[in-house]
Amino acid sequence: MSRFDLVAFDADDTLWHSEDSFHAGEQRFVELLTPYAPAGVDVKAALTAVERANLRTYGYGVKAFGLSAVEAAISISGGTVPNEVIGAILAGVRAQLSEPVRLLPHVAEVLAALSGTVPLALITKGDLIHQTHKIETSGIAHHFAHVEVVLEKDPPTYARLLSEVGVAPDRFLMIGNSVRSDVLPVLALGGTAVHIPYPLLWELEHVDHDEHVVELASITQVPGWLSATT
Ligand SMILES: [Mg+2]
């Protein structure tokens, strides 16, 4: 018998690569804008500040990044940024939205092994169209009893999801790469969470905390950890 009635996975940077594309997009933005930025302006920091200010309005995802990048390009350049640069930013957004899903190593085999032992869920935040497209084309959607694309991963959202599927928080395990989004809100509800770091973390996902967080190096360690925890 599992200690858990539902084991949920985050998707971006937990099941498949994501942040490396955003990181590349940020670097491309810095290269494109630097010729039009006044000396001494930190182009990357300015972009992140615009993204932070827009978070509540645009939410998460590639399209939100694109709108913030265009806004930042206009403000950083004092309105002098050429149309070609705006066009290059938009082309980068379109390319990122069309990228094929790149699963992280061993994800498919671990999900296949776990799905026979405990119900699995996928909980991801961001753009509904893009996330749905990635889930549908990932080839791993059939392992999940529940798939949820949410606006924000906070305690009220997790509480609502758990109540909808009839799972008590203390019978719920969440696994993901973000302590801010996948771990702390679940611990706050009395659930269990496991952190599997990805080499890159978006600046707006950084969080200061003093919780004890269970950390595994790879998804391949999840089945063994579950057996030892049960
Ligand atoms: Mg993630």
Domains, the chain, in order of start with CATH, read 6-16+103-229 (3.40.50.1000), 19-98 (1.10.150.240)
Q: How far is the CA of 156 from the centre of ligand 1 (A)?
A: 18
CA of 188 to the centre of ligand 1 (A): 18
CA distances in angstroms from 141 to 1, 115, 145, 185, listed in the order given = 24, 11, 9, 24
Taking the centre of ligand 1 as the mean of its atom positions, its distance from the CA of residue 40, in whole angstroms, is: 33
For residue 90, report the distance from its CA to the centre of ligand 1, in Å: 24
Kindly report which listed range (149-158, 189-198, 209-218) carries the lowest average pLDDT score. Answer: 209-218
Check whether 129 has a pLDDT greater than 80: yes
The b-or-e profile of 84-97 (16+ CB within 10 A means b, else e) is ebeebbeebbeebb
Q: Give the whole-angstrom CA distance, residue 92 versus residue 136.
A: 22
Reduce the DSSP state of residue 207 to 3 states and report it: coil
Which pair of structure tokens corresponds to residue 86? Answer: 């705006």
- Separation of CA 59 and ligand 1 centre (Å): 15
- Ligand 1 centroid distance, CA of 194 (Å): 12
How remote is the CA of residue 196 from the centroid of ligand 1, in Å?
10
Length of the chain: 230
pLDDT band (50, 70, 90) for residue 1: low
Residue-wise pLDDT tens digits, 24-40: 999 999 999 999 999 99
pTM (two decimals): 0.91
Going from the Cα of 166 to the center of ligand 1, the distance in angstroms, rounded, reads: 24
